Structure formats: C-alpha cells, structure tokens
Amino acid sequence: MSSNTKLQDNLRAAILAKPDAVLDDKDLMQALVTANEQARGDNVIDLRGIAMQRLEERLDRLEDTHRSVIAAAYENLAGTNQVHRAVIRMLEPAEFEDFLRTLGSDVVEILRVDRIKLILESTATQEDPAIDTLGGVLSVVEPGFVDNYLTFDRGGPARDVVLREILHPTHRIFGPNADHLRSEACLRLDLGEGRLPGMIVMSARDRNHFSPQLGTDLLSFFAGVFERSMRHWLS
C-alpha cells in the first residue's frame, strides 16, 4: 500500500469518526458541492443548490447586521458611562471656580474631547479679570451671540444641540488652537427666567467625532444637568 493510499485511508477514517466536523465546515461543504456540480456537467441546473446559496448569502448578511448591532450597543453603553462619569465629576466641586476648572480639565479627559468652552452672554461691556484665572474655559460674549453661532452656516431656528464639522474656526471661542479643531458639539443652555442664554462648545481634532448623523440624547442630558448646576451657582 502506497503512502498516498495510507493518507486516504486515514482521512476516510477521520471523516467517518467525526462526520459532523465536515458538515460544520462551511468551506469544506462548499468545495464538495462544487465538485458535485462539476461531476454532473454544465447541462444540469441544481435549483436546490442555487436556493441554498442564496440562503447562505442571506445568513451572511444577517450575521453582519447582528455584529453591527452588537457593536453599536457596546458603543452606546460606553458613551453613556462616559457621560455619567463626567456628570458625577462635575457635581463634586464645592466652589464655582473649581466647578469651571473641572469642566475644562477632568470633564474634557473623561469625555475624550480636545476642548470644552463655556460661553455666557452678558450686557456688561467690561470683561472681569477673574476670567483669565479659569484656564480659558469661560468666555463672555454679547447678547445674541449664542443663537447666531448655533445657526451659523445653516439658518433656521437655533436647535438645543448642534453637531457639525468646523469649517471656519472661531479663535474667539477656541483660542490659538482653533485651526487644529475639526468638529464641534454646541449645547444651548437655558439659565433660567430673566437670564441670557449660555452655550457649551465641545470640540475635537477628529472630523467625524461630532458628526451630524450621531444621536444627541446623551449630550442633551449632559446639557440639562449642567444648566441646572449653573442655575444653582447663579442663584
């Protein structure tokens, strides 16, 4: 008996011992089906084989969709955990100055963005020197600035949350690093009756970090917690 015959015998014995292994191997089964079709000739059409092939293609698409849904669910869960951690950290400071510094440091790190800026409208014409001690996290602007910024390049009424690519960097908001930022999330703040509105601007170097196609529920939640904290500090 030649070595080739021994190999064939060993292979045959292995298949007979574990036939399920052959049935579970997609590539092996496809090779057997192809060999069977070639043995029948070109003038025979296997409708059952065609139907099975289409079912396999549909199953592959369903598996891809399933993996995409699971990946999206994990991503949403990670985003939720990030926002919750940021909110908890934001509520810890006992002084207003520490509250703002935390926004520009710890919260930036937790949310994995490159910059967070708080914009407050004011009728005061003279800027408070204390703002310079807050690490650039706060800017005071003239009335109407928030709504104008939210509707910039899009028109229509101002939305509470705007996600967009940064096409024209504003140095007044982002400072000297404005040219390196590529996307932003703008969160409008309602600071209470009789007060001018405010805005949080989160920015990132990644052009797709704050894409308009992304959901805004978590950012709306963050803005809601932040504006209620601001009302507390301003009262």
Annotated domain spans of the chain: 3-63, 80-234
pLDDT at position 213: 84
Query: Which residue stretches of the chain have pLDDT < 70?
Result: 1-7, 36-49, 71-72, 125-133, 135, 153-157
Given this model, what pLDDT does residue 119 score?
A: 93
* pLDDT given for residue 108 in this prediction: 94
The residue type found at 163 is L
Structural fold of domain 80-234: Beta-Lactamase (3.30.450)
Residue 145 token pair = 């600035």
What pLDDT does 227 receive? 92
Q: Which residue, chain included where needed, has tokens 């669910």?
A: 73
Q: Which helix (H) or strand (E) holds 139?
A: strand 138-141
Residue 163 C-beta-side C-alpha neighbours within 13 Å: 16
Tell me what pLDDT residue 37 has: 65
Model-wide pTM > 0.85: no
Q: What local confidence, expressed as pLDDT, does residue 1 receive?
A: 44
